[in-house]
Amino acid sequence: MRYVSTRGQAPELGFEDVLLTGLARDGGLYVPATIPQLSADEIRSFRGVPYSQVAFRVMKPFVCPEISEDDFAEIIDKAYSTFRHKTIVPLAQTGSNDWILELFHGPTLAFKDVALQLLGHLFDHVLTKQGRKVTIVGATSGDTGSAAIECVKDRECAEIFMLHPKGLVSDVQRKQMTTVLSSNVHNLAVGGNFDDCQAMVKALFNDLAFRDEITLSAVNSINWARVMAQIVYYFTSAVALGAPDREVSYTVPTGNFGDIYAGYVAQQMGLPIKQLIVATNRNDILTRVLTSGDYTVGKVSPTISPSMDIQVSSNFERLLYNLYDGRGENVRRLMDNLNQSKSFTIDSEQLNKAKQIFDAIQVDEQDTEATIKAIFEQTGMLIDPHTAVGVKAASLKNTDTSIPMVTLSTAHPAKFPEAVEKVTGQHPALPAHMEDLFERTEKYDRLDHDLDALKSYIRSNL
């Protein structure tokens, strides 16, 4: 598979280089040059097949033969052996035709493990083969950080620097990162919000000299391999609910647009997805752009679903590339507007296309809490606030209740215990492997929101 930049001015790369590069050198994101197609028969043949085998068959065209089929199958097996549930991502029923897809059974209790456990093994494989070492720098609104650290800790091939907005991630989220004491892990609490942290990381990538000096790499959701790994669970869950002989709808609690974009790719590959619903909290830039075409960056407002508290949604650029039929100059024009005036507007033809693919709605804090409570009362299940945003959005936007509606459950309730306990009176327990999290020693440094300070910190710690 060849990969091209959304902005059309970076060299085409193969899978391994795309994996290690993250952001393209023209500032764009890598996307596959063509989308592989799976026939209805192939999709039907996934029934009853274990997750890792479906994963292999769905991802193979993106990865092989650059990585051999045998090696790739082994990488997948290793990646998902750390999950605590034997079906990896089980479905749970919450209503007569409503489901949640539990994506939180990996080591750090959020859906990001599904992609990042795979990425860790892919990095290891490719870097060992090439005899190279990379420096991973990332920003996290909470969940990416621990999942990324968990995927590279103690690996010879990588050093990782993870920026989180100081005081703006939950205690569980922070401790999951800062209690990993491996010498190749560097946690940084940065003054500012998540978008400030992400902007610093982007600036590092755009400093090509520094980028080459430290062999910079990314595991943020801009990395194509993460999107790719997330395509798989749309297939496994849809097939479990009757696809390809029946349509299935999805609602996705959305921040950086990576998870829902994977659903769009699954649909492009041939999976019969009826509705794709973008659920946002009151940081609603995605709802605004998908309903009015206006992408204007506002101020981040903290919520009880902090992993979606963002105003710049990086993977949206990949959708723009599709909406503009792969014409990089159009993506460049919009991204230039964004850089200059923190705003762009999608042209009406492209907006109409987007509206045919996606529904979008924002859910406020009160409705999020009410949904956690209602699901507990109706089913006895505890859901986390991000999942609740999705469940509420699904109920508001579902246009055909005869079609199964799957909400992606992106985090374990124990990751956000205060919000859950406040409305249900139940304290969600951490799984056994994390019971002593609050007794573990933390290690992290503080840093100002200052690019030069970050650069010298990285240099002095390599």
Ligand X SMILES: *Cc1c(COP(=O)(O)O)cnc(C)c1O
Q: Where along the sequence are the contacts to ligand X (CB under 6 A)? A: 110, 112, 143, 221, 253-259, 307-308, 386, 410-411
In this structure, the strands spanning 343-345 and 294-296 are antiparallel
Cα distance between residue 196 and residue 361, in whole Å: 25
Q: Which of 60, 78, 86, 112 is catalytic?
A: 112
Nearer to ligand X, 330 or 362 (CB): 362
Contact indicator for 227, 316 with CB cutoff of 8 Å: no
Nearer to ligand X, 46 or 111 (CB): 111
Phi, psi for residue 52 in degrees, rounded to 5 = -65, -30
Q: Token pair of 48, please?
A: 């009853």
Residue 323 CB, shortest distance to ligand X, in Å, is 18
Q: What is the DSSP letter of 345?
A: E
The two tokens of residue 188 are 């940084």
Closest distance to ligand X from the beta carbon of 328 (Å): 23
Residue type, 181: L
Helix spans in 269-327 (H):
285-292, 316-323
Which residues 6+ apart lie within 8 Å of 36 measured at CB? 1, 61, 62, 269
Please identify, using beta-carbon distances, which residue of 137 and 227 lies nearer to ligand X.
227
d(CA 176, CA 306): 15
Q: Is 112 a catalytic site residue?
A: yes
Cβ 307 to ligand X shortest distance, Å: 3
Residue 58 vs 222, nearer CB to ligand X: 222
Q: Are strands 248-253 and 405-409 parallel, antiparallel or unpaired?
A: parallel
CB of 112 to ligand X, least distance (A): 6
Calpha distance 452→436 (Å, rounded): 37
Q: Which C-beta is closer to ligand X: that of 105 or that of 211?
A: 105
Q: How far is the CB of 385 from ligand X (least distance, A)?
A: 8
Q: What are the residue numbers of the active site?
A: 112
